[in-house]
Structure 1
Amino acid sequence: MAALAYPRADLSTLSLAADWTAWFFHFDDYFDEGPLGTAEHRARQTVDFIRDALAGHPRDGAPHGEQSLLRTREAFADLMARTRAIMTDWQSRMFVFHLESYFKALVTEAVNREHDAIPDVRSYCVLRRDTGPARPLLDLVEHTEGIRLPQSFHGSALFGRLMDAAADVAGWINDVFSVSKEQDRGEFHNLVLVLAHAVEIDLVTAVRLAIIKIGEGLRFLDGATPEVDEWCLAAGVSEAERLAIQCWVRGLRDFQNHADWYVDHARYATSQHSHDSPGGSPSPAVQALLSSAPI
C-alpha cells in the first residue's frame, strides 16, 4: 500500500511510511474491532496511554488489561524517533499536531458510539479528516518526494485547502470500500452510511453520492496548478520553491493511488463477499465505485 501511495519515495523513507501505515491499521483495530472504541473513558485512557510517548514519560501498566498496548506504544515511540530525525522543528510540530487531532477524533467517535449519535454530513466530513489518519500520512509527502516546502506556504490557506481535499478523498475512498463491513457490525462512521441516513436514501444511491464527492476532490487536486502559481507569484517565492510546491501537490494526488490496494485485499471483505478471490468478491458498494469513479 505504501509503495502505491508514495511512488517516488526512496527505500528508507518508504520503509518509514509503510511502518506508519501498518501502525495506524493496528491501532485503529483497537477501536474498530473491540470494546475500547465503544465508550469515551476507555478510548480516552487508551489514546492518553499512547500519547505519553510524545512527552517521553510513559506510564507503567496498560489500560483495560490490553498488554499488547505496551508493544504498540513502544512501536509508536520508535516511529516518532525515526520521523523526528528527518523533519525540521516546524514539520515535526505539524506532524504532532495532526497526531493529536487523530487521537482526539478517535475519542469523539467513541462518544458518538456510546450515545448512538450519528453525525450530520458536515460534522462527519470534518471528523473524518482526522480519523483517516490521512493528515499525518500526508505530512510524509514532502519527505517521500524529497522536497522542502517554504514555511510560508505551510501557513497559507491554500495549503490547508489542499491538505483537506487530499485527506477527504482518502477517507471517503476508504469509506466506500469498507461500507459493507462497517454496516454489518453496526458502525455508522462512514460517509456512505451518514449520507444514507441524512438523505434517507438506499445504500447504492449513497455510494454514488460519495463517488461524486470523491470526484470533486480529485478534480480540485488535479486542477490546482493555476492557483498554486498565483499564490507563488503573490508570495514571491523562488522558482525552485514553486516547483517544490507543484511536486507536493502531485504527491497528494498520487497518494490516492493507495486505493488500488483495497481492490484485492481481504481487510474490508465481509462474510457475504469473501469467497471468490483473495480480497473477497467486491460488494455492491465497491462495484459501484469501480464502475463509476476511476481513481
Structure 2
Amino acid sequence: MHVHFPGILEVAVAPRPIDYDLPFPYRCSPDIEMARTGNLAWVERYSLVCAEQNLDRYKSWGISQLAAYAYPEARGEDLALAADALGWFTLFDDQFDEALGEQPDEVAGICMKLLSLIPPGADSDTGADLDSFSRSYIDLWSRSTQGMSDDWCLRLRRSWQQTFEGFVEEAEERRTRAVPTVDTYLRKRVKSLGAYVWCDLVERLVGCHVPERAWSLPILHELRRFHGELCVILNDLFSLEREAEFEHSGDNLVLLTATRQSLALQESMEEALRVAEGKALEVMRLHMQIPHLADQIAATSEERAQLALYAGALTSLPRSNLDWSQHTLRYRDVPAIR
C-alpha cells in the first residue's frame, strides 16, 4: 500500500498529556545528577553535539532522567552507561529524520560499518579514520560488555544487528512511501527503536543473569517483544507532532492507523491506546508464566530469583517512556541536532 498523508498532516498536532497509565510501578534511580553531568561530558568528548545551542537543546531532553526511569536499579557508572547509550542512540537516530533517512543503501552502509567495529570480526586497524558516532559506539560496546559472558555479548550483538536492520527497513519504507500493516509496523519499529538492546542491557545494568537455557523457550522472547511494542506505541503517541512535521507518517502508529482505517486523529490516538492496553495485558499474562518457565528449565532457587528479577526489571522500559515523555522537551524540537 503506497499513499501520502496530506489530510492528516494538515491537522494541528499539539503536544498533550496522554490520559493513560501502565500497570507497572514508577521507579527512579537516585543517581540522576551524576549521570547527567557524566553524559554531557561524554557527548562533548566525542563531539556528538557540535554547537552550543544544540547542546542546550540536548540538555532539555533529559536523557539522564530517561535512563534513571528505565534502569532504576542502576547506580553510578552503570547509570552513566545507560544515559550514554540512550543519548548516543537518540542522536544517531535523528540523522535519519532528514533526506538521508530516505536512502536505504546509504543507511545500510552507515549501520553495517558500525556493526563491523564490534566482535566478532572487528577491524582493529580503522580507529584513526573513525567518525564521532563510530568512536563513541566502540566505547559503549566496551563498557557494555565488561564482565559479561560470551553468550550475552553475542546476544547483544544480534540485538544491535536487528536495530540496524530496522533502520534500513524504515529508510526503504520512507523512500517508497509504503504504509505497512500494524503488525508489520510494530515488528519493524521494535527493532529500530533499539528495544532488544535496551532489554539486553537490563542484565548488565541491573546485575541479573538469565540462565542461558531459558532462551531456548519462547516466553522471554515474547516478553521482550511485548515490552518493546509498548515502548513503540507510547513513543508514537508522544512524538506525534514531531513525526507529522517530518511527514514520516509510516513511522508513527497513530498516523498509520488513521490512514489505514480512515480515522480522525483523535480516534486513531484512542485506537493506539487500546492496542497498548492489549499489549500490557499480554505482558501481565507472560509474567505469570515465569514460574512455569523456571519449572521447564529445572531452575535452581537462585536462577528462579534471577528470572523474576529480569522480568520485573523489563517493566521499567515502557514505564520510563511514559514518565519521561510527559516532561521532556525533545518532542517539541523538530530539527535534528548536529
TM-score by length of 2: 0.74
Query: Residue 89 of structure 2 aligns with which residue?
Result: 24
Residue identity in the other structure for 2:307? I
Distance 2:154 2:92 in 1: 22
Q: Which of 176, 186, 195 is 1:125 aligned to?
A: 186
Instruction: State the AA in 2 paired with 1:193.
Output: L
For residues 209-228 of structure 1, the aligned pairs below 5 Å read 209-228=271-290
CA RMSD in angstroms comes to: 1.9
Tell me, in whole angstroms, the C-alpha distance in 1 between the residues paired with 2:192 and 2:102: 15
**Shift of residue 166 of structure 1?**
0.8
Matched, 1:7 2:72: yes
1:26-75 deviation per Cα after TM superposition (whole angstroms, max 9, x unaligned): 1001112x22211122212221232231243275898xxxxxx7011000
Deviation at 1:144, TM superposition (A): 2.4
1:153 counterpart (190, 193, 214): 214
Contact 1:181-1:270 at 8 Å conserved across structures: yes
Contact 1:20-1:79 within 8 A present in 2 as well: yes
Pairing partner for 1:56 from 122, 137, 142: 122
SS where residue 263 of structure 2 aligns?
A: coil
Bigger mean CA deviation after superposition, 205-214 or 157-166: 205-214
Amino acid at match of 1:103: F
CA distance, structure 1, for counterparts of residue 128 and residue 185 of structure 2: 34
CA contact (8 A) 1:43 1:110 kept: yes
Partner of 1:204: 266
Whether the aligned pair in 2 keeps the contact of 1:84 and 1:92 (CA below 8 Å) is yes
Structure 1 residue matching 2:116: 3-state secondary structure: helix
Tell me the SS of whatever aligns to 1:53: coil
- Once the two structures are TM-superposed, the CA of residue 155 in structure 1 deviates from its matched residue by 2.5
- In the alignment, the residues of structure 2 paired with residue 162 and residue 118 of structure 1 have an alpha-carbon distance, to the nearest angstrom, of 26
Most deviating of 42-51 and 165-174: 42-51
Write the distance in 2 (CA, Å) between the matches of 1:239 and 1:225: 17
Matched residue pairs, number? 264
The one of 224, 230, 237 equivalent to 2:299 is: 237
Gap regions ≥5 residues in structure 1:
63-68, 272-295
**Percent of aligned pairs sharing the same letter:** 24
CA distance in 2, matches of 1:124, 1:256: 18
Q: Aligned residue for 1:114?
A: 175
- What pairs with 1:243-258 in structure 2 (closer than 5 Å)? 243-258=305-320
Q: Indicate the structure with greater helix content.
A: 1
Give unpaired runs (5+ residues) of structure 2. Answer: 1-65
**Higher RCO (CA < 8 A, seq sep 6+):** 2
